[in-house]
Amino acid sequence: MTNRIPYTKPSITELEVEFATDAARNGWGENCYDYIIRFEEEFKKHLGVKHAIATSSCTGALHMGLHALGIKNGDEVILSDINWIATVAPVIHLGATPVLVDIEPDSWCLDPAQVEAAISPRTKAIIAVHLYGNLCDMSALRSLGEKHGIPIIEDAAEAIGSCYFDRRAGSMGRFGAFSFHGTKTITTGEGGMFVTNDSDLYEYVMTLSNHGRHRDQHKQFWPDTIGFKYKMSNIQAAVGCAQLKRIEELMQQKRKIFMTYKAALGSLPLTMNIEKDGCVNGYWMPTIVPDNNLPFRRDILLEELKEAEVDARVFFWPLSMIVENAKFDPSKLKTANSIHSRGINLPSGLDITEEQIHVITDVISRHIRRLIN
């Protein structure tokens, strides 16, 4: 037994075990897609979109969607400098050039003004990543997309539970991609989802997802094009179906966790995940960014948390530090370069207790107050 507080953990009940067991016992032969189809149907109803395709990962969903849009060698795709590598990897796999721009200081998401300045004749897509549950300015980004004829893609891997006015994150772009990794608000262990309201795009991605064989193709083992193998298993989808039955409970638990952190840390000189007017933040990963005028060293606070048996994560590194063939102007990445070295993701496993959160916030409060004094 350990008293260590993990940075994340899913909520798995007897319902998930029951569904997965049923899939393992009975989900074969003509029933081998039953839970997959059910998961896709129920997820698209939750999101309010026309089409959904269950995938093995969010990365796979992005890869197929970008390929279906014709992204290729010589094209440019704009995204923010602060992202996990999974968002940019499909761009590079397709031979396109990532164009990295700065983030907004409050949302930590793509800055629309920087996006517009980076648009060129070679720009073929803009990827809006809803970081840590925070929402991109979708009105501004969609306006840019319409103005320049560029599709807006939503990476909503971290944004289940987040809503932009009356629309759920992931439902507003040309297509959206979700993650059901074990760290996410709802999980299938590994897994993802491609969603869209574009019926033609859906049909193409459906074909790509089945090794390039169109679903109306009756010739056995005859691919209509070269495709991919990013399928979700029926057993994974069974777990997803159980999680979807509990999604309101899980989303509310994430908000409760964040609010407990906010109540304890809100008076300190730091910023946390923002919830803009008209929006709902799913608060996937509560995050703190101590103010820039503090003599703050992240490694020291992380070590103090570690000594208290608390697992915490660093903010994502700027992609400009990692991706060799990216295009960017270092002088225009000031916010990203400032925030990333100060940000810390706090534990938010769905079974974390208020007492455990207070252990964490006590360490942080003592540390920050020492800096102030």
The catalytic residues are: 184
Q: What angle do CA 145, 149, 150 make, to 5 degrees?
A: 55
Residues 6+ away with beta carbon under 8 Å from 63: 89, 90, 93, 94, 228, 230
CB under 8 Å to 188, separation ≥6 — which residues? 180, 232, 236, 237, 239, 240, 243
DSSP state of 124: E
DSSP SS3 for 47: helix
Tell me the Ramachandran region of residue 4: left when phi exceeds 0, alpha when psi lies from -120 to 50, beta otherwise: beta
What kind and span of H or E run contains 271? strand 270-272
Answer positive or negative: Cα dihedral of 229, 234, 236, 237: positive
Under 8 Å between Cβ of 93 and 85: no
CB atoms within 10 A of CB 311: 17
Query: How far, rounded to the nearest angstrom, does the alpha carbon of residue 240 sit from its chain's CA centroid?
Result: 17
Sheet-wide strand order for 163-164: 167-168, 163-164, 279-280
